[in-house]
């Protein structure tokens, strides 16, 4: 596997840090990877080793407010307005670059957690340029608590400022996720059944940070749009979709929201849809004790498409 780190300049001039993992020989297809909230794209190097060994080239940006894209002052913050849309359009711009540099190769989109929500919006606006999309640790329509979060995030932006960190909203989201696994060893037991993987996340200085009021405002507002009936109906019916999650994932599978999203896609007429839940699994199935099976089945889906 060849590893490169490069910069992509978004249409507003923002420099986006990108990891590109390439096979030793010619690539047979490309995968655009969207990581989750309070993590970074470099965590997917292990997945990239498996995929590149089978001929796939992976392009993985650090989103705004994350990883090597974010300055210290920008950590956990997207943009002054429409931040989630801005991140989604960063992906679109990078997808156009991949298409230009790798003409003739199919392009897939993989999104995990927050990245899966960004991917939900992407396939509504730009699904026609993809050969398929994978949603990991995803969820469907948000409940009343998301509305409460939007109000709190908006008030926080007005009172404290959009770049102020918000332990309250962090506790309402990540803190609530951990409650299902009490008694817990760490604040992040909800991520994986593998203690070593949880410890690696905690030890990573680019993971687990508290995000800003602005990011929560943009994320929750963006979810309302991308999960609207109009946005969902715009997804190409012929776009292959693969959804997977741990059965006990508090983000979606444990609440029934994962199943509801799959059912809604089917009701919209998506003709090639697979949904997989892993018994006992938590949020990061690629870092779970079942990761070898999960990765093998993900690779098999790419191979079929």
Q: Find residue 109's DSSP bridge partners.
A: 32, 133
Residue 17, φ and ψ in degrees, nearest 5: -75, 135
Residue located via tokens 């794209």: 41
Mean pLDDT, range 167-189, rounded to an integer: 89
Q: Find residue 245's DSSP bridge partners.
A: 277
Which pLDDT does position 143 carry in this prediction?
65
Which pLDDT does position 170 carry in this prediction?
86
Element (H, E) at 36: none
Mean pLDDT, range 255-274, rounded to an integer: 95
Domains and CATH numbers, the chain: 2-142+226-304 (3.40.50.1820)
Q: Is 115 helix (H, G, I), strand (E, B) or coil?
A: helix
Confidence tier at 194 by pLDDT (50, 70, 90) = very high
Q: pTM (2 decimals)? A: 0.96
- State both tokens at 157: 């932006």
Rounded Cα distance, 119 and 14, in Å: 20
Model pLDDT for residues 34-85, shown as the tens digit of each residue: 999 999 999 999 999 999 999 999 999 999 999 999 988 899 999 988 889 9
Which pLDDT does position 226 carry in this prediction?
86
């Amino acid at each position: 596997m060849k590893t490169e780190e490069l910069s992509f300049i978004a249409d507003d001039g923002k420099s986006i840090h990108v990891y590109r993992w390439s096979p030793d020989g010619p690539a047979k297809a490309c995968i655009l990877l969207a990581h989750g909230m309070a993590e970074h794209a470099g965590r997917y190097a292990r997945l990239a080793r498996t995929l590149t060994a089978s001929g796939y080239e992976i392009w993985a940006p650090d989103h705004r407010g994350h990883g090597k894209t974010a300055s210290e002052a920008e950590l956990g913050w997207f943009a002054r307005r429409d931040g989630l849309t801005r991140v989604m359009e960063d992906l679109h711009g990078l997808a156009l670059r991949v298409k230009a540099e790798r003409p003739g190769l199919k392009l897939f989109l993989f999104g995990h957690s927050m990245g899966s929500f960004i991917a939900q919006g992407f396939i509504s606006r730009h699904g026609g340029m993809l050969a398929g999309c994978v949603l990991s640790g995803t969820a469907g329509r948000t409940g009343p608590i998301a509305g409460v979060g939007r109000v709190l995030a908006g008030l926080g932006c007005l009172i404290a400022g959009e770049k102020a960190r918000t332990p309250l909203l962090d506790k309402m989201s990540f803190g609530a996720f951990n409650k299902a696994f009490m008694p817990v060893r760490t604040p992040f037991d909800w991520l994986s059944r593998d203690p070593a993987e949880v410890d690696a996340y905690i030890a990573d200085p680019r993971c687990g940070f508290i995000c800003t009021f602005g990011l929560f405002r943009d994320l929750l507002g963006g979810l309302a749009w991308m999960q609207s009936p109009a946005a969902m109906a715009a997804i190409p019916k012929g776009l292959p979709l693969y959804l997977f999650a741990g059965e006990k994932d508090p983000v979606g599978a444990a609440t029934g929201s994962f199943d509801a999203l799959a059912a809604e896609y089917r009701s919209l007429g998506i003709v090639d849809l697979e949904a997989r839940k892993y018994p006992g699994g938590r949020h990061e199935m690629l870092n779970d004790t079942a990761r070898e099976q999960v990765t093998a089945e993900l690779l098999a889906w790419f191979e079929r498409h």
